């Protein structure tokens, strides 16, 4: 049992990102005395940012804005077909866009400061580490030591991009997503290393700006996602200008006299070393949890041996009774903003309200904002097959063409929907996958249906909204099993 009354705060949150802020604000709304620490260790390149965490500063927000900027480039082409007297393409000014994005992010940093102030949450811009299980110490930039004590402590320090440790020049010459969104100048000809959604999303929008962008992948794209969908995502990117170096691993980066980078890699398929020159190399090979600097060993918070993430139970509790952890640093949780936010809120309600509600991490919908967006909820086809056997599932699918693509003469070869159901009378929906424009908007409502236990027959009884792309989900009728060609015509 925590000492009540002898600690300065009811709650100390370490990490001012999506999860941490949500938890702190909710606890304050319950009348508690709350403190929050947030500190950004500058990237090796020297990039740093304000309050708000990954999502706001170097994740979802700038990503989506740049993705949208790239889509607007496509809209210019479309506009011409729809009667607008514009040239089908126009130059793109990186600085103008980056400044606008960065200004918006700064306004969000400010907004978060204000929200904390309004709730009397004490904000420390310091990097904290444990002294004992109720005491955290940090140093301000000026070097002044601050000690904070609290009854409950929530760890929400998130993650940072990983650098390879076996590539010469990786850290000196390469950047990561931490830097990309804050670049003042265009990255130019860019190599993005990795097959994660971070890699594909970034390479995608860079291509959209007219930049020469290449993705280097060791093996499969979007590991953990439905692989049929992942391949459609990369097919689309390939046919729209993004280059791919498949089955390749990096060897070294060297800086040339003209400031460009000589990149050397091993091509496993061709069985030889290859090289090329780029302006920018960005690592997107995964993220490491920010657990190293907390001094967790001192207090006995246990980590997963491989991932180094914090081990928690269903109530977000660590191995130490009054210390909790949420968000990207926790083992076995999706690395998403909305799950961190909800986990933070529910945790605060359980600690300080009278709630017993635990997080439900099942069927969390997500969207990959590649040039052709991929939204999904529930199980991939592979996972469903693993659990129920191929005979136990029915997969409905369709290739469709968004109406807006017709006049714009756009290629819709990868616009595809797949619904994985349990076979049998009910045909409960196990997973829904949508590849197409506005995938996130489409999937959100359906994820609610799945939460309500939606079945294929309920989907069939739902009348479509016409003309939309989403209605194609309600019109799915061709099964993979039937072997029928799956291209449907809209109207």
Rounded Cα distance, 400 and 412, in Å: 7
Decide: is 473 part of the binding site for other proteins (CB under 8 A). yes
Q: SS3 of 54, please?
A: helix
Give how many residues touch other proteins by CB under 8 A. 86
- Residue 195 annotated as binding site: yes
- Residue 196 annotated as binding site: yes
Q: Which of residues 442-461 bind other proteins (CB under 8 A)?
A: 442-449, 451-454, 458-459, 461
Q: What residues act catalytically?
A: 466
Rounded Cα distance, 305 and 286, in Å: 17
Helix (H) or strand (E) holding 78, with range, is: helix 60-81
Decide: is 489 part of the binding site for other proteins (CB under 8 A). yes
Which span sits near other proteins by CB under 8 A: 158-166, 194-202, 212-220, 468-476?
468-476
Decide: is 219 part of the binding site for other proteins (CB under 8 A). no
Minimum Å gap between C-beta 473 and other proteins is 7
Decide: is 3 part of the binding site for other proteins (CB under 8 A). no
Rounded Cα distance, 381 and 419, in Å: 9
For residue 223, how many other CB atoms are within 10 A of its CB?
Answer: 12
In the bound state with other proteins, the residue whose beta carbon lies nearer, of 407 and 484, is: 407
For residue 142, how many other CB atoms are within 10 A of its CB?
Answer: 5
In the bound state with other proteins, the residue whose beta carbon lies nearer, of 184 and 269, is: 184
Cβ(233)–Cβ(222) under 8 Å?
Answer: yes
In the bound state with other proteins, the residue whose beta carbon lies nearer, of 117 and 219, is: 117
Query: Of 162, 247, 440, 488, which lies in the binding site for other proteins, with binding defined by CB under 8 A?
Result: 440
Decide: is 276 part of the binding site for other proteins (CB under 8 A). no
Decide: is 482 part of the binding site for other proteins (CB under 8 A). no
Pairing of strands 261-267, 248-255: antiparallel
Decide: is 12 part of the binding site for other proteins (CB under 8 A). no
Query: What values do phi and psi take at 108, rounded to 5?
Result: -70, -40
Query: Of 78, 133, 254, 385, which lies in the binding site for other proteins, with binding defined by CB under 8 A?
Result: 78
Among 231, 232, 217, which Cα is nearest to 399's? Answer: 232
Q: Which of residues 384-413 bind other proteins (CB under 8 A)?
A: 403-404, 406-407
- Residue 186 annotated as binding site: no
Q: Which of residues 104-143 bind other proteins (CB under 8 A)?
A: 104, 107-108, 111, 115
Q: Which of residues 299-318 bind other proteins (CB under 8 A)?
A: none
Cβ(314)–Cβ(336) under 8 Å?
Answer: no
Minimum Å gap between C-beta 322 and other proteins is 26
- Residue 328 annotated as binding site: yes
Minimum Å gap between C-beta 91 and other proteins is 5
Query: Of 29, 133, 254, 441, which lies in the binding site for other proteins, with binding defined by CB under 8 A?
Result: 441
DSSP-assigned states of every residue in 400-463: ---HHHHHHT---TT-EEEEEEESSSS-BEEEEEEESTTHHHHHHHHHHHHHTT-BHHHHHHSP
**Does residue 453 come out as left (phi exceeding 0), alpha (psi in the -120 to 50 range) or beta?**
left
Minimum Å gap between C-beta 367 and other proteins is 5
Decide: is 352 part of the binding site for other proteins (CB under 8 A). no
Minimum Å gap between C-beta 111 and other proteins is 5
Minimum Å gap between C-beta 339 and other proteins is 5
Minimum Å gap between C-beta 263 and other proteins is 27
Cβ(226)–Cβ(431) under 8 Å?
Answer: yes
Cβ(13)–Cβ(39) under 8 Å?
Answer: no
In the bound state with other proteins, the residue whose beta carbon lies nearer, of 291 and 447, is: 447
Decide: is 462 part of the binding site for other proteins (CB under 8 A). yes
The angle at the Cα of 62, spanning 61 to 64, to the nearest 5 degrees, equals 65
Decide: is 464 part of the binding site for other proteins (CB under 8 A). yes
Q: Which of residues 36-75 bind other proteins (CB under 8 A)?
A: 52, 55-56, 60-61, 64-65, 68-69, 72-73, 75
Residues 6 or more apart in contact with residue 123 via CB below 8 angstroms: 16, 35, 36, 38, 51, 113, 116, 117
In the bound state with other proteins, the residue whose beta carbon lies nearer, of 2 and 353, is: 353
Q: Specify the residue for token string 């909710």.
A: 26
In the bound state with other proteins, the residue whose beta carbon lies nearer, of 332 and 467, is: 467
Rounded Cα distance, 328 and 119, in Å: 25
Rounded Cα distance, 290 and 286, in Å: 13
Rounded Cα distance, 180 and 409, in Å: 32
Task: Please report, in range form, the residues annotated as the binding site for FAD.
Answer: 64, 128, 328
Task: Please report, in range form, the residues annotated as the binding site.
Answer: 64, 128, 194-201, 286, 328
Task: Please report, in range form, the residues annotated as the binding site for NAD(+).
Answer: 194-201, 286
């Amino acid at each position: 049992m925590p000492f009540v009354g002898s600690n300065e705060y009811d709650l100390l949150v370490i990490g001012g990102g999506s999860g941490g802020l949500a938890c702190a604000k909710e606890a304050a709304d319950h009348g508690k005395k709350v403190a929050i620490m947030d500190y950004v260790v500058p990237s090796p390149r020297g990039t740093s940012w304000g309050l708000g965490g990954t999502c706001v500063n170097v994740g979802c927000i700038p990503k989506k804005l740049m993705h949208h900027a790239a889509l607007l480039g496509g809209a210019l082409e479309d506009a011409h077909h729809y009667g607008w007297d514009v040239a089908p393409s126009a130059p793109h000014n990186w600085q103008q866009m980056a400044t606008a994005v960065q200004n918006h992010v700064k306004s969000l940093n400010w907004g978060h400061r204000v929200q904390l102030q309004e709730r009397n949450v004490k904000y420390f811009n310091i990097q904290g580490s444990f002294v004992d299980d109720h005491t955290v110490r940090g140093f301000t930039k000026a070097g002044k030591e601050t000690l904070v004590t609290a009854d409950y402590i929530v760890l929400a320090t998130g993650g940072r991009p990983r650098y390879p440790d076996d590539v010469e020049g990786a850290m000196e010459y390469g950047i990561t997503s931490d830097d990309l969104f804050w670049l003042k100048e265009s990255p130019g000809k860019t190599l993005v290393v990795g097959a994660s959604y971070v890699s594909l999303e970034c390479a995608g929008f860079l291509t959209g700006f007219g930049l020469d962008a290449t993705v280097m992948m060791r093996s499969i794209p979007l590991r953990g996602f439905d692989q049929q969908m992942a391949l459609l995502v990369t097919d689309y990117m390939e046919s729209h200008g993004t280059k791919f170096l498949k089955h390749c691993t990096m060897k070294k980066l060297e800086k040339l006299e003209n400031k460009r980078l000589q990149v050397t890699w091993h091509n496993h398929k061709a069985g030889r070393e290859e090289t090329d020159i780029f302006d920018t190399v960005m690592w997107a090979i995964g993220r490491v949890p920010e657990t190293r600097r907390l001094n967790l060993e001192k207090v006995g918070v246990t980590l997963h041996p491989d991932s180094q993430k914090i081990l928690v139970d269903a109530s977000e509790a660590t191995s130490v009774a009054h210390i909790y952890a949420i968000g990207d640093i926790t083992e076995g949780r999706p690395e998403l903003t909305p799950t961190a936010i909800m986990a933070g809120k529910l945790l605060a309600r359980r600690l300080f309200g009278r709630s017993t509600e635990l997080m439900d991490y099942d069927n969390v919908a997500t969207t990959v904002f590649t040039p052709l967006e991929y939204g999904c909820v529930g199980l991939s086809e592979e996972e469903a097959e693993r659990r129920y056997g191929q005979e136990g599932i029915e997969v409905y699918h369709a290739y469709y063409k968004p109406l807006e693509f017709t006049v714009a003469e756009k290629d819709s070869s990868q616009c595809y929907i797949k619904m994985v159901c349990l076979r049998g009378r009910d045909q409960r929906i196990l997973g829904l996958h949508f590849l197409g424009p506005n995938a996130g908007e489409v999937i959100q409502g359906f994820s609610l249906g799945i939460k309500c236990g939606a079945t294929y027959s309920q989907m069939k009884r739902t009348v479509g909204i016409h003309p939309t792309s989403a209605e194609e989900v309600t019109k799915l009728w061709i099964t993979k099993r039937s072997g029928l060609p799956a291209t449907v015509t809209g109207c």
